[in-house]
Every structure is written in C-alpha cells, then in structure tokens.
Amino acid sequence: MTVAGVKNICVVGAGNMGHQIALSAAIAGYKVKTTDVNQEILQKAEQFVEKYLPDRVAKGKMSEEVAQAARSNISFTMSLEEAAKDADLVIEAVIEKLDIKHTLFRQLDEICPPHAILATNSSFIVSSKIAPVTKRPDKVCNMHFFNPALVMKLVEVVKGPHVSDETANTVMEVCKSMDKVPVLLKKEIYGFLVNRILAAINKEAFYLYDMGVAAYEDIDTAVVYGLGHPMGPFRLMDLTGIDLAYYIDTERYQETGDPANKPSPIVVEKFVKGEWGQKSGKGFYDYSKK
C-alpha cells in the first residue's frame, strides 16, 4: 500500500502521546479513530481536542475550516474492534511494556484488514520484538513521535530487517503529509537515534546529581543556558513521564543484566511515590498550582 491508500488511521492509547498523535493526523486530513482502555483518559483526550482547536483558531494559527474538518475527522471509542476494523494504519501508543504490546498486536492482527500497517510509537522496543506475534511482520514497524507530538516535528521511522520497503516508504510519506520531518533508520538499534543521545545526557546528569555535585534544578539550568537546550534533563523527564523512564530502565536492566542500566535511585523513589511528573502534578518539579 502506498500513502494514497492511507485514509483511516487508528491510534491505540490516548495518553501523553496518543491523543496528540491522533489530533496531528486528524488535522492532516486523515479519518482518525482513537481508543483507550481507560475511559477517563479517553474523555480527557476528547476534551483536549475540543479546547485545542478553537484556541488555535482564536490565536490565528489555524483556519476555522481546518479546525472544523479536524474535529469531524477524529472520533473516540473504547472499542478496539470499532477503532481498528477499517484502519489502513494503526499507531500504537500504549504503555511501554512488551507483554501488553504483544497482546494488543495479536488482537490488531485479527481485527485489522490484511493491508493495514501496524506501527508502534514505542520509545525503545524495536518492532522485531513485536512483529512475530502477527501474521504480517513486513507491515510492523516503529514510528516514533516526540513529545509533545503536536509540536515536535521529528519522527523516527525504523526499518527493521523484517519491514518491507513499501511499509517504510508509506510510513515516511504519511509522516510528511502530517507536516512532520521523518528520518529513516536503516537498522534497528535500541533507543533509536534521539533517545540514545538523550540517555547519555541523562546518565551524566544523574551521576552529577547522585554525587552531590549540584541540585537537579541547577543541572537543568546549566543545560538550558550552557547548551541552549529548551529544557534540562530533569524537567524533560517530568514532561515525558518518570514512570516511563522507570519502565524503560527496568526492562533494559532485566534484558541486559547490566547494573549500569538500572533506574537511578531518584527515579525509583519518584516512581514509588507516584510522583511521575506533569501527569501526576509533581515530579522533580511541582505542577499542582497550574
């Protein structure tokens, strides 16, 4: 299937990433069905759409026509079957746990039409770990958006050894049609491009914090004003989710057995306390007053 064949997109998982990926696709003109197992999250996603589109129009950043079309292009349902049954492309954005993704991709493989591409937005799980649970491994690939997905242009498209040229090309073209800037990884590698670079920065930031060299606020300040990054590693982790950092490091540690991959003690502490960042109102920083 070429990009011209992609009309209906299903986004599974309406959390941090999913609701914005879904809306980006709806703004680009795709018919998007968004689904989640958590009704509250799904309602929040719909409320977000209802606020975001008029806000953009009011700010003069989007025409009324585009906003109305986007609103009618996007729908929300708790039923995976309903969301995925006529999808040409599925973008999965559920929690970063391999067993959950396996169960989901098995279901999607049953529900979706045979031509449908099943993409994962996973930050670290390469699609060759997911593809074998389906009967269409050539159509299962990584399509990695960045947070916040409505703003961030980059998408990493990863062509694992099982992914067909056609699938990779179609996903690249879909990204471009969504006004994104896709890059193609010709090989699967853990963490892809950006998260590998980010992991190196985070590791050093945690080391400096654990050694008592500086407070995490000051480490963030140093990165912002010394390196010109829009935010430091601790604030970024609040945005992306400390729970996500915990799951990623834990899974990597279980996989490799390398203690260097263990989550940092401060991440474990925050995870256990439920201080997961912006989504929980507190992480390294306090968001309760916003």
Ligand X SMILES: NC(=O)c1ccc[n+]([C@@H]2O[C@H](COP(=O)([O-])OP(=O)(O)OC[C@H]3O[C@@H](n4cnc5c(N)ncnc54)[C@H](O)[C@@H]3O)[C@@H](O)[C@H]2O)c1
Write out the residues near ligand X by the rule CB under 6 A.
Answer: 12-18, 35-38, 41, 93-96, 100, 104, 121-123, 144-147, 240-241, 244
User: Has 123 been annotated as catalytic?
Assistant: yes
Nearer to ligand X, 69 or 152 (CB): 152
User: Has 156 been annotated as catalytic?
Assistant: yes
Residue in this structure with the two tokens 């992609």, named with its chain if needed: 6
CB of 35 to ligand X, least distance (A): 6
89: part of which helix (H) or strand (E)? strand 89-92
Residue 223 sits at φ, ψ, to 5 deg, of: -70, -40
Q: Where are the beta strands (DSSP E) in 94-136?
A: 117-120
Which of the residues 8, 24, 123, 142 is marked catalytic? 123
Which of the residues 92, 156, 188, 275 is marked catalytic? 156
Rg of the chain over all Cα atoms, to the nearest angstrom: 19
Query: Do the beta carbons of residue 160 and residue 141 sit within 8 Å?
Result: yes
Nearer to ligand X, 42 or 67 (CB): 42
Query: Do the beta carbons of residue 271 and residue 243 sit within 8 Å?
Result: yes
User: Has 144 been annotated as catalytic?
Assistant: yes
CB of 264 to ligand X, least distance (A): 18
Residue in this structure with the two tokens 């169960």, named with its chain if needed: 103
The CA angle 28-131-134, to the nearest 5 degrees, is 95
CB of 241 to ligand X, least distance (A): 5
Token representation of residue 219 = 């480490």
Nearer to ligand X, 147 or 169 (CB): 147
Token representation of residue 261 = 């991959």
Nearer to ligand X, 32 or 67 (CB): 32
CB of 168 to ligand X, least distance (A): 19
Nearer to ligand X, 13 or 67 (CB): 13
In terms of residues, how long is the chain? 290
CB of 108 to ligand X, least distance (A): 10
Which of the residues 73, 122, 195, 264 is marked catalytic? 195
Token representation of residue 206 = 């945690």
Task: Tell me how far apart the terminal alpha carbons of the chain are, to the nearest angstrom.
Answer: 45
Measure the CA–CA gap between 29 and 23, rounded to whole angstroms. 10
Which of the residues 96, 144, 264, 275 is marked catalytic? 144
**Positions marked active-site:** 123, 144, 156, 195
